[in-house]
Amino acid sequence: ASIRVARSDDRTGMPSSLRAALADIKLAHSVFALPFAVLAALLARPADAGWGRSAAQLALVAVCMVLARTWAMLFNRIADRALDAANRDFLTGLYNRRYFFEQAERLFDRAAAGEFSILIAMIDADHFKKINDTFGHQMGDRALVAIADTLRELVEGRGLVARYGGEEFACL
C-alpha cells in the first residue's frame, strides 16, 4: 500500500488550500486587469468613431459593478481557504489543536445540555522517536500521515479528529 502526504503538493510542500488561495489571487488579478484594458481602449477611441465618451462612462460603471461583485466573491473564497489552512495541521491535513479546542468547547456545551452523548479519545504513538531515529524523519512523517488517515477513516462523518501535537491525536 502506498502512503501519501495528505493535502500537500510533493513538489513544493505547500498545502492544497494555500495553493488554491494563491490561484484565486492570480485569478482576481486577471479579472481586475482585463476590463480596464477594454475600458482604456474605449476611452482612446475618438468621439466620432461610434463609441463616444458616454459609452465609455457607462462601460466604466459596468466594469466597477462587475469588479466589486467579483472581488467580493474571490475575497470570500480566499478568506475561507485561508481560514481552513489556519485550522489544519500542515503535514496530516487534520484539524489542529487550536481548532479542536474551539470545537470541543462548543460540542461539550451541547452535550451537557443533553443534545447528545460525547466521547473523547487521546491517541499517542508509543515509541515514535524510535521510528524517526531508525528510519529518518521522512518515514516518521509518513507514519504520522498513515495514523491520521486511519483515524480520519474511522471517525469519518461522526466526529472530529485533530493532531493534538507531535505524535498525539485527539478524536471527539
Q: Which residues are catalytic?
A: 167
d(CA 79, CA 54): 37
C-alpha cell, 47: 468621439
Q: In what order do the strands lie in the sheet with 168-171?
A: 95-96, 161-165, 168-171, 121-124
What value, to the nearest 5°, has the Cα angle with vertex 32 and ends 71 and 64? 70
103: CB partners within 8 A, 6+ apart: 95, 160, 172
Q: What is the dihedral of CA 9, 15, 17, 20, to 10 degrees?
A: -50
Backbone angles phi, psi at 116, to 5 degrees: -165, 170
